[in-house]
Amino acid sequence: MKEVLGVLLSSGYSLDQILDWSWDHINLTAECIMTHKVEMINMVFEPVAAAFGGKGKKKNRQKSIDSQRRLREAMTPQQKENDLLRSIGMAGLKVQGPTK
């Protein structure tokens, strides 16, 4: 409960205001304030982490997956087969190309 009161007091609420509220109101207000603070911290630290080589959020990963999917859909069947054989070969397995 100390943390909850600390969050509310540090956000500018007076002790008299807080004591007039119900327990549910106090908890909801503190939760909303903490959620907002965490979002603000993430907004600041994401570019900093990216500058130091950190990984992006899952949104960027989904964009990458979508662009790779579009590239694969644009490939001809022969290109798809060659790509599959190349990836299997890079995994360390010996693969012979298709015989003509």
The structural domains of the chain, with segments of one domain joined by +, span 2-51, 58-90
User: Measured between alpha carbons, how far is 86 from 80 in angstroms, rounded to an integer?
Assistant: 10
Q: From the CA atom positions of the chain, what is the Rg in Å?
A: 27
Q: Which residues contact 15 (CB under 8 A, 6 or more apart)?
A: 9
Give Cα 95 to chain centroid, integer Å. Answer: 37
Across the range 4-13, mean pLDDT stands at 85
pTM of the model: 0.47
Reply yes or no on whether the pLDDT at 99 is more than 60: no
Across the range 14-36, mean pLDDT stands at 89
28-78 pLDDT, tens digit per residue, is: 898 889 888 888 888 888 888 888 876 655 666 677 777 777 777 787 888
Question: pLDDT at position 57, please?
Answer: 59
